[in-house]
Structure 1
Amino acid sequence: MATQISRHGLIRGITAATAITALASGLAACGGDSDAATRTDTAGTVTVGQLSNGSAKETPLKVSEVKSISAELPAALKKSGKLVIGSGTLPSGSPPLGFVGDDQKTITGSEPDLGRLVAAVFGLEPEVRRSTWENLFIGLDSGKVNVAFSNVTDTEERKQKYEFASYRKDDLAFEVKKDNPWKFDGDYESLAGKTVSVGNGTNQEKLLLEWKAKLAKEGKKPLTVKYFQETNSLYLALSSGKIDAYFGPNPNLAYHAAKTAGTPQATRIAGQFSGAGETLQGLIAATAKKDSGLAKPLADAINYLIEHGQYAKWLKAWNLSGEAVAKSEVNPPGLPLDNS
């Protein structure tokens, strides 16, 4: 997304995943967006990792409005009293980044949790709105969503329409069956003859399609790209050998590999790659409509959380400490328009 965020990942195994998918599909049928309940903490406390079915360590964090930062917000947003946070995780969820919690209605995950922390710094009530990946950007364009916290990769192409405040490294990965000896060492030529699944409209799809075009131009064996709307279908295809690998955000894939360890469906990570290409460390960023005036206050809020320790505790709660950044930047260099 993602990068954009690829949306795939297991939630609790087949039974819970099926239930959550059914819930999500019902919500999608009502217009593609879910205004799922937001869990509100006592004043001055945001508890991250709630209702996460063991995906995170529930951790209460003290954070209150910082007047010098909330004063930077556009007047209309401040007057509204709430920050609408977009999560592009319909239909299946994308743990640990964003998924439906144990109560079958609250949106949990590392991404909405950071959005709630930022809302607290702003002195606003968080409202997490769930949609498909494609509708996430439609929500930003239309103003239904103020900011996306949804594993969105900072890219130069996206800067034509959006502005960014970075908050996490963007590392992608290839996931394969555990007994598959194939490895990705950063050389796209190793993908010749492979069939790989990727999320539609994601940053990793852009990279994969560029590699596919290069292989075709060089007369190599073709790279076949497959798409799946549902998590269960994706992993059934991987388990049955219909696809060789899945290319997606490292947090999702590492989570799934850990959950399937010791089962007949066991998988492993076969290699990683920066979401911004071979020569630039990719960055995940809070994403707002261009010229919304939100990028700077978002970056200031994230930097406040970094400086005061809540950021590190948020990452630790979700087992993502290895993806920490030293500071949030406004519109840092992203995936180039021409990544060849």
Structure 2
Amino acid sequence: MKGIIKIIVTLVMVLAVLPLAIAGGGQESADGVLTITVASDATWPPMEFINENKELVGFDIDVMNAIAAEAGFAVEIKNTAWDGIFAGLANGQYDAVISSVTITEDRKKSMDFSDPYVNAGQVVVVRTDNTNISSHLDLTGKSIGAQQGTTGAIAVQSIENATLKSYDEIGLAMAALQKGDIDAVIADSPIAADFALQNPSYAENLKIVGEPFTEEYFGIAVRKGNSEILDLINTGLRAITQSGKLEELKAKWLY
């Protein structure tokens, strides 16, 4: 009998120090700190990628950590392959996804989204010595590169008298711009930032001009109906928006 009582007491003590799952998701430790597990596919710099030190870094990673700090929870970000990332969210493998996820009406049917935190629409990239193009409004009659079949190529078609130069991949368009073969490139803002700001082969010679002139908003996805986690994330997101921290991170990674 004493042995059974001892076992029961031991189990109670062990369970007391183990993280506790809460109804809305996440894990609450013995000291009351909630840890939210977040998935991110680290294959799209500068949004999320693995750096030379094997660390998960990028704009989305900094945003998620800043949100957690403001809202008072801990965050564990897991590098997760895109294929199946939303299925993993639905079956509870993690509590949220921050991975350059565009908010769409179709996705809203199966998951909930935070407030939008960045517009990843189309932007214009020119050579650093170009003083004639300051936004998409200055592209009339210009020669513009874009990746074939992308929304960037579609955007070029709406610019008066512009000549579209299509490329199989966006790096070829950036190389052509750097050589002076075309006047500008139109691309998604994160892709443009990766070349014009983060890539040493291009950063000295290319720059982004103007703001995104199309709309493609990213949000943080949570399981459908998980209002507890969603409210926490939105609380932190609104705080970093109001404090200017979000703009600071955009300037670091995207502008």
Q: TM-score, normalised by structure 1?
A: 0.48
Cα gap change, 1:182 to 1:314, in 2 (>3 Å)? same
Give the corresponding residue for 1:269: 208
Equivalent positions of 1:25-44 (< 5 A) are: none
**Equivalence for 2:243:** 312
Please give the alpha-carbon distance, in whole angstroms, between the structure 2 residues aligned to 1:191 and 1:130: 43
Distance 1:185-1:169 versus aligned 2 partners, 3 A rule: same
Partner secondary structure for residue 194 of structure 1:
strand
- CA 1:153–1:299 in 2, change beyond 3 Å: closer, same or farther? farther
Which of the numbers 196, 211, 227 marks the counterpart of 2:155? 211
- Structure 2 counterparts to residues 171-190 of structure 1, below 5 A: 172=121, 173-180=123-130, 183=133, 185-186=135-136, 190=140
Taking the aligned partners of 2:173 and 2:80, their CA distance within structure 1 comes to 21
Structure 2, gaps ≥5 residues long: 1-20, 29-33
CA distance in 2, matches of 1:180, 1:238: 11
SS in 2 for 1:223: strand
User: CA contact under 8 A between 2:39 and 2:99: conserved in structure 1?
Assistant: yes
Residue aligned with 1:315, SS: helix
- Structure 1 residues 209 and 159: alpha-carbon distance in aligned structure 2, compared to 1, 3 A threshold: farther
| Corresponding residue for residue 223 of structure 1 | 164
Aligned: 1:98 with 2:48:
yes
Q: Which position in structure 1 is the counterpart of 2:230?
A: 298
Mapped contact 1:87–1:128 kept (Cα < 8 A): yes
Q: Which amino acid aligns with 1:85?
A: V
Once the two structures are superposed, residues 219-267 of structure 1 have per-residue CA deviations (whole angstroms, 9 ceiling, x without a partner) of: x6653443537x6x664343234664141226x6457545689x89411
1:128 aligns with 2:78: yes
State the structure with more CA Rg: 2
| Residue 248 (str. 1) matches residue 180 (str. 2) | no
User: How many residues are treated as equivalent by the alignment?
Assistant: 222
RMSD over aligned Cα, in angstroms?
4.6
Contact 2:156 2:186 in 1 (8 A): no
C-alpha distance in 2, partners of 1:159/1:191? 39
Q: What's 2:220 paired with?
A: 286
TM-score normalized by the length of structure 2 = 0.60
SS at match of 2:105: coil
Q: Which amino acid aligns with 2:212?
A: F
Shift of 1:310: 9.3
**Alignment match, 1:73:** 24
Measured after TM superposition, the shift of residue 179 of structure 1 is: 3.3
Partner residue of 2:39 out of 82, 86, 98: 86
Q: Which residue of 2 aligns with 1:196?
A: 146
- Which residue of the partner structure matches residue 7 of structure 2? none
Shift of 1:165: 0.5
Deviation at 1:196, TM superposition (A): 1.7
Alignment partner, residue 168 of structure 1: 117
Identity %: 15
Whole-Å separation in 1 of the counterparts to 2:168 and 2:24:
39
Q: CA deviation at 1:130?
A: 4.7
**Given residue 246 of structure 2, which amino acid in structure 1 is its aligned partner?**
L
Unaligned runs of 5+ in 1: 1-69, 277-281, 324-340
Q: Which amino acid aligns with 1:99?
A: F
CA distance in 2, matches of 1:188, 1:294: 45
